[in-house]
Amino acid sequence: MKAAKKKAVAVLSTMALVTGLLAGCGSDEGQAAEGGVQNVSIAIAQVGDVPSKGNEVQQKIEAYTNTKLDIQWIPASAYNDKINVMIASSDMPKIVKVQYNPTVTSAMRNDVFWEVGPLLKDYKNLSAQNERFFNNIKVEGKIYGVPVFSDIARATVIYRKDWFEKLNLKVPTTPDEWYETIKTLATSDPDGDGQDNTFGLMLFKKYNEDQYSFTTRLGVSFGAPNKWKVEDDGSFTPEFMTPEYMQVLDLLKRLYSEKLLNQDFAVFDSTEAEKKYDSGVVGMRVGVAQNGKSQQERLSKNDPDGVVDIAGLLGANGDRVAGQTGNSGILAFPKATVKSEEELKNLLSFLDKLMDPEMATLLMRGIEDKHYKKAGEDQVEMSDFDAFQREVKPYRDNLPYVEGYNVPKLKDTELGEKGTDLAKELAEHAVPNPALTLYSPTYGDRGADLDQMIADAQTKYIMGKIDENGWKQEIENWANAGGTKIREEYAEDYKKQAQ
Amino acid sequence: MQQDKTWGNRIFDIVNHGLLLLIGIVTVIPFIYILAVSFTSPHEVAKGGFILFPKEFSLAAYRYIFSTDTLIRSLGVSIYITVIGTLLNLLFTSLMAYPLSRRYLRGRQPILLGVLFTMLFSGGMIPTYFVVKSLHLTDTLWSLMLPTAISAFNLIVLKNFFQAIPDELEDAAKIDGCNDVGVLFRIVLPLSMPAMATFSLFYAVAHWNSFFNAVIYINDSEKWPVQVWLREIVILAQSRIGDTSIEETEIQPLTIRMAVIVFSTIPIMLVYPFLQKHFAKGVMLGSVKG
C-alpha cells in the first residue's frame, strides 16, 4: 500500500514536470500593431544597469515616435557571440546593433541585412550628417545600416599646463620637440619636490594597437598615414613601412634607452598608467579631447594646484589627425524580420525622428528639471548627472545622436566645452584610414595574428632588443606570413571600388 | 597518541601547522579584502592602499546596488534555477545512471559509448542554439536547466557508484516484491546519499555560476541570473578602465563591484558547509567499496 502510494507520487511528479515543461513553451511573440502604433524590436548593448520597462525616457520616446519599443539588452561580455548566434539562426529583432567586424560584414555581403544607402536621402536628419560617417560603414560600396555616430577624429595632447608654464614649454609638434619636451618634463622636477620622480610621458602595453593606438596618432601628426598608405600607383603600404612612422619608433627608442620612458611599458597595465596620470607625476599624454575634463577632475583630488589643458595633436606639416571609424556600432535591419521595404522605411523614419530637436535633447540631456535645467538662452546645465548616467545614457549610447546637432548647448567647465569644440574642429583635419572598408580575406583570417607580430616587433625595437636589420627581418616575416597578400588584396579591392 | 614526541616530531608539527595556517590566511585574505572594500567609503578606497578593515564604514555601495530591484530579482532567478535545476539534474542523472549500471541491460554498451562520445565532441554553440530554439525554450528559464540536465561525466561516475552496490541487495528487494523503480528509489538512492550530496554540490555550483547560456538563450533581462550582472559589473570594469582613449564608459567604483561580488557569492557559500561533510567522504567512495 505504502509502496503503491510512493509510486503514484513518483509518476505524478514526473507528469507534473512534463506538463510544466510544455507550459513553459507556450508563449508566442505575435503581437499585432494597435491603432497605427508601430512595434519596434531592437537588440542593443547593455550600458550599466538595464532600465526598467516602461520608464519615463522610454515612454517619451514611444510617445514622440508613435511606436511600441521592445528592447533586448545584450551584455557586452557576450555581445559578439550573441550576435553571431542571432545571425546564424535568423532569430533577430527588427533592428540589431552590430559592429563592423568580419562576421558582420560577411553577413552584409550575403544579403542578411537590408541595404539602406539609396533611401537615406529621404530622411532629413540622417542625410544631414557628414558623409564620412556613412562611407566608413560601407561594404562593397553599399551602406547596410545607420551608424551610431561618434567623433571621427579626437586625438589630442592632454598636458599639465602649470608645468609647461613653469618650464617655459610649448606643445610639441616635431619628433625633436617631443623628445626635448619629454626630457625636460622628466628631468627638471616640475612638481618641485626635489625628487626625480616625474615622467614626461607614460606608455602602457597596448600603445600600438587598434584605432586608439598612440603610435598611429603620433605618427599621423608627423605625416605618416593612418594605418595604410595608398601609393600613387594604387598599391598599399602599411604605416610601419613609412619613414614618418619610423620617427615615432626612433623617438620612443631614444627615450627608452635614456630611461625617460617607463622601462616596463611592454607589460605595464593601462590601469596602472591611469593611476600615475591621476596622481600627478606625468606631464602629458595623447588622449581623447573629452578626456581633458575628467583628467582634471581626477587630478584635482590628488593635486589641487594641478592645471590640465588640451591641444590638438598637430604636426609641423599642418593639421593632421588620425581618423577613426566614426561610429560605435551600426543599427542594421535584418531581412529575416523586416519583411517589406515599407516596413524598412518606417524603421528608418523612427531612427530619423530620434534626431529631431525634442528627441535629441532627451537623449543627450535627459528630461528637463529631472536631469538638466535651463541655463540661459539655448543653453542647459546638468542638474543630476548620476541619474542621467543611469536612466538616459543606456538609450543615448545605442541610438543615433550627434553632439551639437539639434540639441541645446551644454554649460560645462571651460575645459569641458573646449574639448567638445575641439573634437568638432579636429574632424575637419581627419586623415582617414583608406583600408577601413576594404575587403581582404587574408586579413579576416589571420589579421589579428599578423598585427600582433608587428606590434611585438615594435616593442622589441624600442627596447633595443633588435636593431634596424632585425626590424627589417621582422617586416620580411610579416610579409611572408600573409602581409604581402593583404597588401595585394587591399589594392585590388581599392581598384574595384574606384571604378 | 603518546606524549613521548621526539623533537623531530614537534618541529614537524610546528612547521606543518605554520604552513597550513599560512595557506589558510592566503586563502581567506582576498575574501576579507573584498568584504572590507565593499563596506568602505568610496573616497577612502580611491586613496589607494590595501584595506583589510574599513576605516570609514559606509553602506553606500550596498545602498546603490539595492536602489533598484535588479539584483534582488536576479538573485531570485539564480536561486530558482539552482534549486529546481539541481533537483532535475539529480533526478535525470540517477534515472539514466541506474539502468546503465545494471549489467543485464541489453544495449548498454552502445548507449555508454554514445555518452562518452558527447564528452569528447560537442555540437557547438550554434547547433545547440537551434535545438533550444526549436524546442521553444529560448527566453524561458528552462533553457538554463534542461540542456545541462545530465552531465556526461557525472553520469559515468554515478553509474560506477551504483555498480558498486551489490547485486544481492537488488535480488533481495525483488524477492520482497519491489519493482525496478522501487529498487532505485527505496534501495539504491538511500544507499547513495554521499554521492547524491556531492553531485548536488557539483550541479548547484555549476547552475549558480552559469552565465553564458543565460546571455545566449535569454533575451529578457528580467530573467537573467545574478552572474550576468556580476560579470558585467566586475570584469568589464577591469578590462575597460584604463583604455582612456575609448569613449568614456561608465565605470563602477571598486566598492560597488566588491559589494556585488559579496552579494552574489554569499548564498552559494552558505550552502557549502552543509554539504561539505559528504563532500569530504568523496566521490570516489563508491569505487573502492567492498
The residue of chain B with its CA nearest to that of A206 is B243
Quick one: cell of A399? 541610438
pLDDT given for residue B102 in this prediction: 87
| DSSP-assigned letter for residue B122 | -
Residues 94-133 of A with CB under 8 A from B: none
Cβ contacts of B220 on chain A, cutoff 8 Å: 72
pLDDT at A22 over 80: no
Asked if B126 and A212 come within 8 Å (Cβ–Cβ), the reply is no
**Do the Cβ atoms of B214 and B225 come closer than 8 Å?**
yes
End-to-end CA distance of chain A: 88
Give every CB contact of residue A361 below 8 A, 6+ residues apart in sequence: A406, A407, A408
Is A80 an interface residue toward B (CB < 8 Å)?
no
pLDDT given for residue B243 in this prediction: 35
Is B185 an interface residue toward A (CB < 8 Å)?
yes
Cβ contacts of B46 on chain A, cutoff 8 Å: 301
Cβ contacts of B137 on chain A, cutoff 8 Å: 24-25
Over the stretch A461-489, which tens digit does the pLDDT of each residue have?
999 999 999 999 999 999 999 999 999 99
Asked if B129 and A269 come within 8 Å (Cβ–Cβ), the reply is no
Residues with pLDDT less than 70, chain B: 1-4, 46-49, 235-252, 279-290
Instruction: Give the pLDDT band (50/70/90) at residue A62.
Output: very high
Asked if B250 and A25 come within 8 Å (Cβ–Cβ), the reply is no
Q: Say whether A155 sits in a helix, a strand or coil.
A: strand
Q: How many CA atoms lie within 13 A of A231 on its CB side?
A: 12
Helices (H), A72-168: 79-89, 102-109, 124-127, 131-135, 161-166
Quick one: cell of B167? 547485486
pLDDT given for residue A17 in this prediction: 47
Mutation target vs B (from A6, A47, A49; most B CBs, 10 A cutoff)? A49
Candidates B197, B170, B192, B194; CA nearest to B182 is: B170
Over the stretch B7-20, which tens digit does the pLDDT of each residue have?
888 999 999 999 99
Chain Cα centroid distance, residue A16: 51
Place of cell 596602472: A272
pLDDT at A30 over 60: no
**Do the Cβ atoms of A493 and A439 come closer than 8 Å?**
yes
Q: Phi and psi for A228 in degrees, rounded to 5?
A: -135, 145
CA dist A311 to A157, A289, A396, B270, Å?
Answer: 5, 8, 27, 55
- Pairing relationship of beta strands A308-312 and A155-160 according to DSSP bridges: antiparallel
pLDDT at A168 over 70: yes
Is B5 an interface residue toward A (CB < 8 Å)?
no
Residues A351-357, mean pLDDT to the nearest whole number = 91
Helix axes B193-209, B70-101, angle to 10 degrees: 140
pLDDT at A336 over 60: yes
pLDDT given for residue A8 in this prediction: 53
Residues 207-236 of B with CB under 8 A from A: 211-212, 215-216, 219-222, 224, 228, 231-232, 235-236
pLDDT at A372 over 80: yes
Chain Cα centroid distance, residue B90: 14
pLDDT given for residue A351 in this prediction: 92
Q: Phi-psi category of A408—alpha, beta or left, where left has phi over 0 and alpha has psi -120 to 50?
A: beta
Is the torsion defined by CA of B2, B3, B6, B10 positive or negative?
positive
Task: Give the containing element (helix H, strand E) for A312.
Answer: strand A308-312
Mean pLDDT of chain A: 85
Is the torsion defined by CA of A118, A119, A123, A129 positive or negative?
negative
* Gap between the Cα atoms of B40 and B57, Å rounded: 5
Over the stretch A219-263, which tens digit does the pLDDT of each residue have?
998 888 999 999 989 899 999 999 989 999 999 999 999 988 888
Asked if B236 and A77 come within 8 Å (Cβ–Cβ), the reply is yes
Indicate whether this model's pTM tops 0.90: no
pLDDT given for residue B96 in this prediction: 93
**Do the Cβ atoms of A313 and A221 come closer than 8 Å?**
yes
pLDDT given for residue A296 in this prediction: 87
Opening angle at CA A425, ends A423 and A428, nearest 5: 115
pLDDT given for residue B48 in this prediction: 64
The residue of chain B with its CA nearest to that of A78 is B215
Q: Phi and psi for A100 in degrees, rounded to 5?
A: -80, 85
Nearest-CA distance A397 → chain B (Å): 10
Asked if A82 and B215 come within 8 Å (Cβ–Cβ), the reply is yes
pLDDT at A89 over 80: yes
3-class DSSP string for A332-388:
ECECCCCCCHHHHHHHHHHHHHCCCHHHHHHHHHCCECCCEEECCCCEEEECCHHHH
* Gap between the Cα atoms of A244 and A234, Å rounded: 20
* Gap between the Cα atoms of B255 and A295, Å rounded: 21
Instruction: Give the pLDDT band (50/70/90) at residue A35.
Output: low
Mutation target vs A (from B186, B211, B244; most A CBs, 10 A cutoff)? B244
Cβ contacts of B181 on chain A, cutoff 8 Å: 7, 10
3-class DSSP string for A8-54:
HHHHHHHHHHHHHHHHHCCCCCCCCCCCCCEEEEEEEECCCCCCCCC
pLDDT given for residue A7 in this prediction: 53
pLDDT at A13 over 60: no
